Structure 1
Amino acid sequence: MAGAGSRVFISHLSGLPVFDPNGDQVGRVRDVVVSLRIGGRPPRVLGLVVEVIGRRRIFLPMTRVTSLESGQVLATGVINLRRFEQRPSETLVLAELLDRTVVRTKTGEEVTVLDVAMVQARLREWEIRKVFVQVGRVGRLRKARGESLTLDWSELTGFSLTEEGQGAANLLATFEQLRPADLANVMHHLSAKRRAEVAAALDDDRLADVLEELPEDDQVEIIGKLKEERAADVLEAMDPDDAADLLSDLPAEDAERLLRLMEPEDAASVRRLLSYEEDTAGGLMTTEPIVLEPDATVAEALARVRIAENKPALAAQVYVCRPPNETPTGKYLGTVHFQRLLREPPFTLVGSLVDDDLDPLPPDTPLPLVTSYLAAYNLVAAPVVDEADHLVGAVTVDDVLDHLLPEDWREASLHAAESETVHG
């Protein structure tokens, strides 16, 4: 641990690995817990919120932190793995202080909090003493024009007004490298107001990715607070099967209104999915598999597989069909696994490589049979074909898992397994 007077900006702690006394990584820092005090006194740093395996969040007291140097956090003693529960007297720095609009006492001007720094007062005791601000308000994802400066905590007022004037730009900048599932975890632990602000600041594609990782209740809450035109844009950016699942959780009239605002092609795919029973191949499938005509080459197929936006399960094989290439396609001919593509010369036509030994799944195939099909043939995806031999979609193993797990599995993974927990 650095000596007294050492200064650490809180945003620099986000994501740092935390190690126990044996050198084993416990998790990563997700926030810092402080206690605000009256009379302009610097807040006392109580500890760190650490995300451990399973996305559970625990509380690590500052008295257990021995070092904050070299891009890592070292802890001593036995680490309490009980789930962190924020108390009313506590404030989370990243979630609740960054982007707040406060007032500079000396001049009366509004400033926006970009970061805060904690200073070591004595051994293992830290306080928030410095605040890095920008003069003026910071708008949605845009910086206000004005100088940036570092002020003492005592030079500012307005921190006690919970979430008033708090934007989301700097919080998002702090977590911009997070995977969608991890950002979903962050948003799930925010207040409803703060969650709505962060959702409003995310671009459509990023918000779509995050929504797919959130529990149903959070999805419904967020989509319900967006303007309808934007909600429709976000639904278009989601995978059709995920968009259909979300719309099915909304009141019928609300879902229909959003479908009418979506682009006709996107809405048609979602409507088609909504027409199937939820626990069938048709209800589970995505309508956007990789489809090629039989005269396409192996080189073309591999180029399609390499597209970064393709999820791994969908990129595992291509589906060979007569035109049209959008689902529902022309006559379905068969599949070609990407491993077969890797073994063939690039000029080979995929029509000569199709595997048509396995019967495709009808849209009304129930979930247990879909599961057995994937397990029996060691597949991560399977074609779904209607009575007219048109490919209408593909069901992937991740979609099946979503429906095999308990309905609240996302909520459980975010909250962890323990039910009655408090932190010490």
Structure 2
Amino acid sequence: MVYRAEDPPRVVGLVVEIPGRRHVFVSIGRVTSIAPGQVITTGLINVRRFQQRGGEVRVMAELLGRRVFLRDGSGEAVIEDAAIERSALGDWDIGSLFVRRPRTVPTPFTKGPTAVVSWRDVTERLSPGEEPSAEQLVATLSELRAADLANTLLDLPDDRLIEVAEELPDDRLADALEEMPEDEQAHILEQLGDERAADILDAMEPDDAADLLGQMPIGRSEQLLDLMEPEEAEDVRELLKYGPDTAGGLMTSDPIVLSGEATVAEALAMVRRHELHPALAASVYVTLPPYETPTGRYLGTVHFQRMLRYPPHVRIGTLVDDTIDPLPATASAADVARILASYNLVSVPVVDHVHRLVGVVTVDDVLDYLLPEDWRSHSTTPAHVAFPWTGPVTL
């Protein structure tokens, strides 16, 4: 949402994400309906990338996270959300703010009380034109999904983006970087310094880290690999051995690998790990020891859905699906896509020349490869369209 710094603030339009992840400006006058999950507009839409004009303020990047004083004398608060309402003249104004007061007891696991107040009930603590601190903005963005966080970061001015990136925890920034084009990833890492860049690469999925380092000069990628944790760096180095358009170049090297003697209960406990990607949680892989890639000889796959049909004590070695042949690491990306599509799979195992499991290619890995390089910025928009609303602003 974009508004002009007036009193009350008048909404001039929405910054929306259209297919292809380009952010464009839609004048509020063209919006015919706002409903949960969609914004419906009519007329011709300019699909040029949004550029902020003088006097305009973006709710996500510049309003949320600001500290304000409550005019009733009860102290200060931080703006966490905003709502718009229609005035008697038909304009859309920012009417209500969702604010959070400081904690009464300073403990690390509690948040302060919240309130919904009118715009006229607060006065800004910041000087005109002053932006909220990076720490305040990071707190405001803490609940965003990784893809939405990535888009929000890329909408910030470059110096502001780096400020916020420096304040984000390693795992959050790593998740956001995985949703960005590789040139943007490399640009941000270069601004953070070598030690922090290595920490971020440690927190990224090995295949994403390998893709990013593969775009850098060899000397620079080796420098960062030397600064990474040895175990993480080893996984990435293994992936860098394969061409980017092969199964080895597309795969992730940390699937769930178990012995055939493991029980259904043990396998399901591994699947339940909250940090596990859904596509990787769809199956576990049975091999001979060792049980970390590159493993012992690959024996077969056990699907999550099949495990749910058996008692917890059953050995997963008896549930192996050996009808799906693993792919060699040298298989082409086209072959991987054909296998996934032909057998309606979300992942396929990858083995080396001696039939050891070295990784798994998931369907999202293949999609990232098959889509054109400019898929994040390429799109066409019809004259009448319902835009998906991806921001946290209350409407």
Please report the TM-score for the alignment, with normalisation by the length of structure 2: 0.77
Question: 1:56-105: CA deviations, max 9, x gaps?
Answer: 5454545567999xx97998983654336224323323313555799xxx
1-side partners of 2:341 and 2:87: how far apart? Answer: 59
Are 1:397 and 2:360 counterparts? Answer: no
Aligned match for 1:177, one of 137, 143, 164: 143
Shift of the 81–155 alpha-carbon distance from structure 1 to 2, 3 Å rule, reads closer
My pick for the range that moved more, 188-197 or 85-94, is: 85-94
Question: 1:308-367: CA deviations, max 9, x gaps?
Answer: 222222112111012211111122211112222122222111122222333321111111
Are 1:256 and 2:240 counterparts? Answer: no
Question: 1:124-148: CA deviations, max 9, x gaps?
Answer: 346679998999xxxxx9xxxxxxx
Q: After the TM superposition, which residues 267-346 of structure 1 pair with which residues of structure 2 at under 5 Å, given as runs? A: 267-346=233-312
| 1:218 corresponds to | 184
Q: What SS does the corresponding residue of 2:186 show, helix, strand or coil?
A: helix
Amino acid across the alignment from 1:82: N
| 2:196 corresponds to | 230
1:265 CA drift (Å): 0.6
Higher relative contact order (CA 8 A, sep 6+): 2
Question: 1:31-53: CA deviations, max 9, x gaps?
Answer: x323347xxx7765423334456
1:251 CA drift (Å): 2.4
| 2:51 corresponds to | 86
2-side partners of 1:43 and 1:50: how far apart? Answer: 20
My pick for the range that moved more, 236-245 or 111-120, is: 111-120
Q: What SS does the corresponding residue of 1:343 show, helix, strand or coil?
A: coil
Question: 1:188-209: CA deviations, max 9, x gaps?
Answer: 2222122212222221111111
| 1:10 corresponds to | none
1:242 CA drift (Å): 0.4
Q: What SS does the corresponding residue of 1:243 show, helix, strand or coil?
A: helix
Question: 1:385-405: CA deviations, max 9, x gaps?
Answer: 112221111111111111111
2-side partners of 1:181 and 1:190: how far apart? Answer: 15
Is contact 2:3-2:59 (8 Å) kept?
A: yes
1-side partners of 2:320 and 2:9: how far apart? Answer: 66
1:306 CA drift (Å): 2.1
Q: After the TM superposition, which residues 71-150 of structure 1 pair with which residues of structure 2 at under 5 Å, given as runs? A: 78=42, 81-83=45-47, 85-89=50-54, 90-98=56-64, 114=79, 123-125=89-91
| 1:4 corresponds to | none
Q: What SS does the corresponding residue of 1:333 show, helix, strand or coil?
A: strand
1:368 CA drift (Å): 1.6
Shift of the 351–99 alpha-carbon distance from structure 1 to 2, 3 Å rule, reads closer
Are 1:417 and 2:380 counterparts? Answer: yes
1:369 CA drift (Å): 1.6
Shift of the 199–77 alpha-carbon distance from structure 1 to 2, 3 Å rule, reads closer
2-side partners of 1:347 and 1:91: how far apart? Answer: 59
| 1:355 corresponds to | 321
Amino acid across the alignment from 1:417: T
2-side partners of 1:285 and 1:74: how far apart? Answer: 35
| 1:35 corresponds to | 4
Q: What SS does the corresponding residue of 1:328 show, helix, strand or coil?
A: coil
Is contact 2:281-2:304 (8 Å) kept?
A: yes
Shift of the 130–334 alpha-carbon distance from structure 1 to 2, 3 Å rule, reads closer
Is contact 1:64-1:75 (8 Å) kept?
A: no
Which segments of 5 or more consecutive residues in structure 1 lack a partner in the other structure?
A: 1-31, 103-110, 136-140, 142-148, 420-424
Amino acid across the alignment from 1:35: R
Is contact 1:62-1:124 (8 Å) kept?
A: no
Is contact 1:129-1:153 (8 Å) kept?
A: no
2-side partners of 1:308 and 1:133: how far apart? Answer: 29
RMSD: 3.9
2-side partners of 1:156 and 1:233: how far apart? Answer: 35
Shift of the 77–399 alpha-carbon distance from structure 1 to 2, 3 Å rule, reads closer
Please report the TM-score for the alignment, with normalisation by the length of structure 1: 0.72
Is contact 2:20-2:377 (8 Å) kept?
A: no
Is contact 1:58-1:80 (8 Å) kept?
A: no
Question: 1:221-250: CA deviations, max 9, x gaps?
Answer: 111111322211111111100010011122
Amino acid across the alignment from 2:310: E
Q: What SS does the corresponding residue of 2:338 show, helix, strand or coil?
A: helix
1:290 CA drift (Å): 0.7
Which segments of 5 or more consecutive residues in structure 2 lack a partner in the other structure?
A: 69-75, 103-107, 109-116, 383-395
My pick for the range that moved more, 51-60 or 172-181, is: 51-60
Shift of the 73–383 alpha-carbon distance from structure 1 to 2, 3 Å rule, reads closer
Q: What SS does the corresponding residue of 2:376 show, helix, strand or coil?
A: helix
Amino acid across the alignment from 2:277: K
